[in-house]
Amino acid sequence: MIERFTFGTTIQTGAVVQELEAAPSGAVMQFGTLCSSSPFKWTYRMDRGDMVFGLGEQMKGINKRGGLYESWCSDVPNQDEFTHSMYGAHNFLIVYNGSRFNSICFALFFDSPARVRFDIGWSKEEELAVSSADTGLDVYVITPAPDRLESELNDVVRQYRQLIGQSYIPPRWAFGFQQSRWGYKTEADVQEVVDQYRKNKLPLDAVCLDIDYMEQYKDFTVDKAKFPDLASFSAKLKEDGVRLIPIIDAGVKVQPGYDVYEEGREKGYFCKKEDGSDFTAGVWPGESCFTDFMNPEAAKWFGMQYKKLTDLGIDGFWNDMNEPALFYTKDSLQAVFDKIGSFAGQNLDIDSFFQFTPLSSSTFSTMEDYKSFYQTVNGEKIRHDRIHNLYGAMMTKAAGEALRTLSPDRRILLYSRASCTGSHRYGGIWTGDNKSSWEHLEQEIKMLPSLNMAGYLYSGADIGGFGEDSTRDLVLRWLALGVFTPLMRNHCAWNGRNQECYAFGDTEDFRSILTLRYALLPYIYSEFVKAVLSGGMYIRPLGFDYPEDHHALECEDQLLVGEGIMIAPIYRQNASSRYVYLPEAMTKVTWQRGKITTEEKGKGSYFVSVALDAVVFFVRKGCLVPLAKNAMEAASSADIDESKLGFIGNGTGYRLYSDDGFTREISKLSIHTVGR
């Protein structure tokens, strides 16, 4: 059951698709205490054994207890355990306690476009406090259905997902492997990447184009000096099974004569300052304007700009910098220069010196700047900070809707950096600028199930890490997790060490892992679509399917992938083995260079070895997992032959979803049982 409570005057976020009548004002929420409705503050006294799941893209554990989290879309290249805000704002959480005496399960969704703070036993160990300083908000309270056929945890997620609507489904090729690098500048650079992959028999479906393909970082332009004929280049690569995925940034360069800027300015489509002039801030192209995506006309206009690239044969995009990230504004920069100037020639003491050192980075995405411009909501001016979290989401929606118009019959790939619940219907996300660290590999394991709860099924982290130098073993171990993430992309910043699958020599090890992805493609695609259609989670924590098993509930480094697979990735350097917990009997599968070995295992704990060039996964009791037989010969997803499948596991049949890989007509009717 879902109940809606509304507090204050709300601003439509577009997050939910079901219209539920709000409880009469004064009605009391079944759980916790409403301390104040404006500003909003709600608290809940947690029992010792209560677990808290959710919040989508956030750091720390699957169980979010013991942390402070804030929904405030942020550009966070230096994320760690102490980071409170990420690129996405996903205000969904579940409180769960499965113990016989204190059993509890309910989920909450705080539908707000503003900053929301979740103090989950951080200030006070036993207290969960949710607060928002601004605007009105809707709170949805979800309790398990008495007649459910699955665990309470899976049930409340499914109800929530029905509330927020069906998640985005990309074309099938987007489940192939993608190579990216901030630093591929020219056609020759990209061709070299493709050639290396092909030469080393490493399957590949796409190469991303980062900001360097543009003319002076201007959206929807192509630098002819670097890509003389993008249309024929993209057509040529496509014949080879490789697609190009260009980046689109939120900021539009201020430059007289640049058509996108000129038109946006003339029509009044950009965000404005209080005095009505266009708000500008420095980002990649220097001074830039920001489309007011809350204005439907402006959103449509920006979305239709993608046609300039779809006309060149492009059918995939990534949207970046749409928190929106702001490097500086003229005002903030001036203030810093003044302040730095005031220190010149001074004898800096302990106080003044530490005021001085952070100054040069203090202009990044400041609250003052977010408070200095306005957007149009139903004809009314609303200050940006009050609806900040919607910016990237509305950009994704604008792009997604336009791409549907431009390509009514074929799905287009779209993923974004910033997000807010609602945008999960229009695109996927990558999880931003992580680092080449083992901690960030482990973090992805914990983030993935939360993203799935929140409806962001098409997601993944930069494999190998974005910042810093990666190592060969880290890329291999990260790929072994990436095999199972819907978005499987190796991406890296310009100043890191090369980390493509051919960059470390002895490419057979990399080929071994990549080919498993292609062997599992029919399973991954099928499980993904089935999860989307049913509102389920493609990736789940163990405890969601084994809630009676406390050990499974507390397990944070193993995951369920689709109906039939459990994974237990290696995420420590120099570890050739790890403990794996089997909540029930399973088939242990080792994939190594196309060779499969299986072993039946009973419930219990095992110390499992995994060679660097191998992937070990487990097939659940009663399940059958299909593998494409021709994966070792496939250069891209197009080569995978779904009519020739092998099967692992002791189930009797597998429900396979399959289609042409592009259709927008996706239905349960395309699911057929296959088997040995």
d(CA 651, CA 218): 53
Nearer to ligand MIG, 491 or 578 (CB): 491
CB-wise, 491 or 530, nearer to ligand MIG?
A: 491
190 binds ligand MIG, rule: CB under 6 A: no
Report in angstroms how near the CB of residue 86 gets to ligand MIG at its nearest: 12
Candidates 429, 485, 424, 488; CA nearest to 454 is 424
Binding mask 388-427 for ligand MIG (x = CB under 6 A): -----------------------------x----------
d(CA 673, CA 654): 5
- Which residue among 15, 194, 211, 582 contacts ligand MIG (CB under 6 A)? 211
Closer of 461 and 532 to ligand MIG (Cβ):
461
What's the min distance (Å) between Cβ of 656 and ligand MIG?
34
114 vs 25: CA distance, rounded Å:
22
CB-CB contact of 278 with 291 (8 Å): no
Nearer to ligand MIG (CB atom), residue 376 or residue 499:
499
Choice between 315 and 320, CB closer to ligand MIG: 320
What does DSSP say about strands 116-120 and 67-71: parallel, antiparallel, or unpaired? antiparallel
Closest by CA position to 318, among listed 174, 517, 441, 527:
174
Q: Which is nearer to ligand MIG, 131 or 291 (CB)?
A: 291
User: HEC string of 397-421?
Assistant: HHHHHHHHHHCCCECCEEEECCEEC
CB count within 10 Å of CB 418 equals 32
Burial class of residue 643, CB neighbours in 10 A (0-12, 13-18, 19+): exposed
- CA-based nearest residue to 540, from 566, 569, 517: 566
Neighbouring-strand partners of residue 248? 319
For residue 663, CA distances in Å to 527, 659, 666 come to 17, 7, 7
Q: Is 182 a residue that touches ligand MIG (CB under 6 A)?
A: yes
Q: Can you give 337-354 as a three-state secondary structure string?
A: HHHHHHHCCCCCCHHHHH
317 binds ligand MIG (CB under 6 A): no
328 is a contact residue toward ligand MIG (CB under 6 A): no
Is residue 432 a contact residue for ligand MIG (CB under 6 A)? yes
426/218 Cα distance (integer angstroms):
24
The amino acid sitting at 415 is Y
Residue 432 CB, shortest distance to ligand MIG, in Å, is 5
Strands (E) in 213-361, as ranges, are 243-249, 251-253, 280-283, 286-290, 316-320
DSSP 95-117: EEE--TTT-EEEEEEEE-SS-EE
176, two tokens? 């192939």
Looking only at residues 452 through 481 of this chain, which bind ligand MIG when binding is defined by CB under 6 A? 466
Alpha-carbon span 413 to 319, nearest angstrom: 11
Partners of 344 in beta bridges: none
Q: How many CB atoms lie within 10 A of CB 264?
A: 22
CB of residue 174 to ligand MIG, shortest distance in Å:
17
Q: Check binding of 323 to ligand MIG (CB under 6 A).
A: no
| Interaction mask 591-630, ligand MIG, x per CB under 6 A | ----------------------------------------
Residue nearest to ligand MIG (CB): 182
Q: Binding to ligand MIG (CB under 6 A): which residues in 238-267? A: 247
Q: How many whole angstroms separate alpha carbon 675 and alpha carbon 72?
A: 47
Tokens of 9: 């005057």
The pair of structure tokens assigned to 43 is 């608290």
Q: Which is nearer to ligand MIG, 431 or 526 (CB)?
A: 431
Binding mask 336-375 for ligand MIG (x = CB under 6 A): ----------------------------------------
- Nearest distance from C-beta of residue 469 to ligand MIG, angstroms: 16
User: Measured from the CB atom, is 211 or 567 closer to ligand MIG?
Assistant: 211
Site for ligand MIG (CB under 6 A): which residue of 138, 210, 292, 545? 210
Alpha carbon separation from 229 to 218, 224, 317, 453 (Å, rounded)? 17, 7, 18, 42
Residue nearer to ligand MIG on the CB measure, 95 or 208: 208
CA dist 203 and 607 (Å) reads: 31
Q: Which two tokens stand for residue 587?
A: 């088939």
In the bound complex, what is the minimum distance in angstroms from residue 428's beta carbon to ligand MIG? 14
Residue 117 or 243 having the CB closest to ligand MIG: 243
At its nearest, how many Å lie between ligand MIG and the CB of residue 247?
A: 6
Closer residue to ligand MIG (CB): 70 or 320:
320
Please, what is the minimum distance in Å from the beta carbon of residue 389 to ligand MIG? 18
CB of 407 to ligand MIG, least distance (A): 25
DSSP 495: T
Of the candidates 443, 447, 513, 445, the one whose C-alpha atom is nearest the C-alpha of residue 475 is 513
CB nearer ligand MIG, residue 260 or residue 568: 260
Residue 219 engages ligand MIG in binding (rule: CB under 6 A): no
3 state SS of 444: helix
Nearest approach in angstroms of CB 462 to ligand MIG is 7
Question: How many residues make contact with ligand MIG (CB under 6 A)?
Answer: 11
Site membership for ligand MIG, residue 433 (CB under 6 A): yes
Site string for ligand MIG, 481-500 (x = CB under 6 A): ----------x---------
Q: Least distance from C-beta 430 to ligand MIG, angstroms?
A: 7
Q: To the nearest whole angstrom, how small is the minimum distance from the Cβ of residue 309 to ligand MIG? A: 16
**Binding flag, residue 320, ligand MIG (CB under 6 A):** yes
Residues that bind ligand MIG (CB under 6 A): 182, 210-211, 247, 320-321, 417, 432-433, 466, 491
